[in-house]
Chain A
Amino acid sequence: MPAKRKSSSRNSAPELLFGDLWEFDPAPESAAPNLKDTYSLFIGGKEVAPRSRNYFESVNPATEKALTRIPAAGKADIGAAFTAAESGYQNYWSKLSGKERGKYLYRIARLLQDRSREFAVAESLDGGKPIKESRDFDLPMAAAHFFYYAGWADKLEYALPGASTTPYGVVGQIIPWNFPLLMLAWKIAPALAAGNCVVIKPAETTSITALKFAEILQEAELPPGVVNIVSGAGATGQLIVDHPAAKKIAFTGSTAVGKAIMRSTAGTGKGLTLELGGKAANIVFDDAPIDQAVEGVVNGIFFNQGHVCCAGSRLLVQESIAKAFVQKLKARIATLRVGDPLDKNTDIGAINSKGQLDKITELVASGVSEGAELFQSKCSLPKQGYFFRPSLFQGVTQSHRIAREEIFGPVLSILTFRTVGEAIEKANNTAYGLSAGVWTDKGSKILKMSTALKAGVVWANTYNKFDPTSPFGGYKESGFGREGGKQGVADYLKINA
């Protein structure tokens, strides 16, 4: 019976089974996030109710239930925040030596470490990221930034050797929702070390850890007005950008908003640094360590649900290994655990908001309708909450929307290349230039690529690695200015004429 034999041989093609023979029990992180029912603005060292009297709800994206009420700062509140910041600068911060400023930063760093479990749970509840990431990445890295910049506070003359510098005075800072507390640390730590006072606004979907951070500032007895935390949506951000007392604006977020901020600040003499979107290429050559490259590509795009400006959202894989590589990638994706962000075994948590889920869904639909081939993990998703399956697209071309636009979700677009030159051309053929990854066993290829790629960060045989000492920032529409390292503190200093 040849027909039968044929079908049985087709059935016996070797496949791995990632089933439920040994299923993990739920392992929820149990630390209490200590949330208040209603939060206040933090202005002049005090928690104050918003003069606007407006509040909005912060929603847990994994359950779609409201967590707490967040104040929406209006014009009067922003005015009060800048007044407090100016007074903080004149009366306290500018009078302290670098060494004394450093002491406050060390204190903040240690307090953050003390309460890291509590903050990690709050971060995962509010933003949807898996607890293992907030616990092992966001919190330790946030504390590390404060420790690092504490060290810079009394060494500013080495930031721009030979130049005489002064702080801006009061700076306005606006941060995104993907790494709420970490982005706050990236902004506040270098600003304070350089001697500035701060008015900072967290993103409206993830204000909780920023407002909880006000508790740490009070515990650290930071002088009043040095840091002011005001919550609200885009309109509040606009008030910060437009306030005349803001001598510099530092923004991390979308390229569209970044362009609007550039227009608003043009001609005002305000300093400006922008860290915007990205569409990074992760480039895998045929001599790469394959399994580690697969792991790196997975980490590059699925870390924090893909809500990462430097996410490796385009995989460029050399044609000769493309088929085998994608096969391994699919097998690896099958073992990713999607679900409750507070479960310690969750690899991929909830999409940050309904709006973002809609945006991802729309872009994925465009990929399908433009002819790319969609593959999604078959994992089960929770019934409630904003979740999206880890996805990848094969057969993507440079002109597909999913190869050009930032999706900011767990969606990978796969392209192939034959030569090094083609890889460079494709990788650089984007409006963005924040980061890139190179996977090869050959050191000389890494050096060539790192020079040729127009990206602020190029990772070699790794991805999504951060360190406070290493500057991070973009080319082209990914923005300008650097955060981290000596360059990060220099961007908060003016060179005296």
Chain B
Amino acid sequence: MPMITSNNSPLKRLLNDVGPVDQVAIEERVAKFATRSIKKASKLQGLNLAVSMVDLTTLEGSDTPGKVASLCQKAQHPDPELTTPQVAAVCVYPFMVKHARACLGDSNVRIASVATGFPAGQVPLRTRIQEVKQAVKDGADEIDMVIQRGLFLAGNIQAVQDEISAVVEACGDARLKVILEVSELESYDKIRAASFLAMQVIRPGDFIKTSTGKTSGNATLANNQVMLEAIRDFYLSTGTSISMKPAGGIKNSKQALQYLVAVKETLGDAWLIPERYRFGASSLLNDLLMQLRKQQEGVYQAPWKFSDASSGY
């Protein structure tokens, strides 16, 4: 009897296994998160929670040790006028990890480093692994890797998983965040499939992450929701808790609170902690601080009252 040869693409099988996502309906669902009205003490709590979940990020070609030092200082003491928590981590290029470690010493603020040929990942695997090992050696606590979107879209699921496994091994004790780069995955179906693909090979407490922030599309409430639901389904069927990091495009407090509402109503209380949920962002922190000052002082402060603000007048 001949083998059944149709429908044997591994990507198609994976898509079939994890089930489809309806675009219209999921976008409608997340629009409801945005109608939640967060006021008073709950707003204060949410803003502080968001601060504690920020991966304060600088990923520019023009980054300098001085800029990273400033970032590290801000990460530990976000605002001298406020009693906010520290941010979760600073996120820098591998070349800056040493400098960040020098500034942070044994602070609780973690050092995350994008590695593996960020942002495109179009670098030989050996080079990528080397990069990861070097970043960990220099003091990185967390590694943000990118997957090879080309391999995934070509249907080469096994290769993508093997590469992630190799990076997991190179990480040692460092946590791993797997960037799916959702804007290049074409559909919510494939974002869901890629989430499962990554979750199957990473460790409990490792992250899946939406974006590099270097392409046209970033985190949205909808692709965040697709990934949260994948994490939920994976947890309920295996008992393994995977963490989540939306990145790019989350610029203000209102958005951050909407993302937290999504976490609260999809994964529940256990994920409302910095070990399980992060925001990859650079300008978000100052907006959170501005809102926190508003809650404390009753008036908005000018943007130049906050350090490292890129907007003046």
Contacts and interface: CB of A to CB of B under 8 A. Distances in A.
A427 B197 CA distance: 38
Contact of B21 (A23, A136, A292): A292
Interface stretch (B6-14, B29-37, B111-119, B208-216): B29-37
Contact of B35 (A16, A18, A136): A136
Contacts of B260: 22
Interface in A22-60: 22-27
B262 to A, nearest CB: 11
Nearest to A344: B37
Contacts of A295: 25, 28-29
A22 B26 contact: no
A22 B24 contact: no
Nearest to A131: B37
A22 B269 contact: yes
Interface residues of A, number: 32
B239 A19 contact: no
Contact of A292 (B29, B40, B267): B29
B236 A14 contact: yes
A466 to B, nearest CB: 14
Contacts of B40: 25
Contacts of B39: 24-27
Contact of B22 (A23, A292, A335): A292
A289 B19 contact: yes
B37 A22 contact: no
B272 to A, nearest CB: 5
Contacts of A461: 22, 24-25
Given A14-B236, A344-B35, A345-B36, A21 B269 contact: yes
B29 A24 contact: no
A12 B265 CA distance: 21
B78 interface: no
Contact of A291 (B21, B265, B270): B21
A16 B22 CA distance: 24
A22 B42 contact: yes
A295 B41 CA distance: 29
Contacts of B28: 295, 462
Nearest to B16: A287
B200 interface: no
B280 interface: no
A26 B36 CA distance: 11
Interface string B278-306: 00000000000000000000000000000
A341 to B, nearest CB: 14
Nearest to B38: A24
Interface string B201-239: 000000000000000000000000000010010011111
B45 interface: yes
B137 interface: no
Nearest to A14: B239
A21 B24 contact: no
Given A27-B37, A335-B265, A292 B25 contact: yes
Given A12-B239, A24-B38, A136-B35, A291 B268 contact: no
Contact of A22 (B29, B45, B235): B45
A290 interface: yes
A296 B236 contact: no
Interface in A271-291: 287-291
A16 B20 contact: no
Contact of A18 (B25, B26, B49, B269): B269
Contacts of B21: 289, 291-292
B248 to A, nearest CB: 24
B269 A23 contact: no
A26 to B, nearest CB: 8
B46 interface: yes
What band does the interface of chain B fall in when counting residues whose beta carbon is under 8 Å from A? 35 or more
A12 B240 CA distance: 11
A12 B238 CA distance: 11
Given A16-B267, A17-B268, A23 B25 contact: no
Given A22-B46, A295-B29, A287 B20 contact: yes
Nearest to A299: B28
A114 B40 CA distance: 29
A18 B268 contact: yes
A292 B20 CA distance: 10
Nearest to B188: A289
Contact of A24 (B26, B37, B270): B37
A319 interface: no
A132 interface: yes
Interface in B32-70: 35-43, 45-46, 49
A381 B128 CA distance: 56
Interface string A350-362: 0000000000000
A363 B22 CA distance: 34
Contacts of B272: 21-22
A441 interface: yes
B37 A16 contact: no
A289 B189 CA distance: 10
B268 A19 contact: yes
Contacts of A24: 36-39, 42
A136 B36 CA distance: 13
A18 B267 CA distance: 8
A335 B35 CA distance: 15
A290 B229 CA distance: 11
Contacts of A27: 37-39
A24 B37 CA distance: 8
A24 B42 CA distance: 5
Contacts of B36: 24, 344-345
Contact of B20 (A296, A344, A441, A462): A441
Contacts of B41: 25
Nearest to A461: B22
A345 B272 CA distance: 19
Contacts of A132: 35
Contacts of A292: 21-22, 25-26, 29
A136 B270 CA distance: 32
A423 B239 CA distance: 34
Interface in A312-340: 327, 335
Nearest to B21: A289
B37 A462 contact: no
Given A14-B239, A19-B268, 9 more contacts: A12-B239, A14-B235, A22-B272, A23-B42, A25-B40, A292-B21, A295-B28, A295-B29, A344-B37
23 contacts: A14-B238, A16-B235, A18-B264, A18-B265, A18-B269, A19-B268, A20-B269, A21-B264, A21-B272, A22-B42, A22-B264, A22-B269, A23-B42, A24-B36, A25-B38, A26-B39, A27-B37, A27-B38, A288-B20, A291-B26, A292-B21, A345-B36, A462-B28
Sorted nearest first, the 8 A-B pairs with minimum C-beta distance are A292-B25, A27-B37, A289-B22, A21-B269, A344-B37, A292-B22, A16-B268, A25-B40
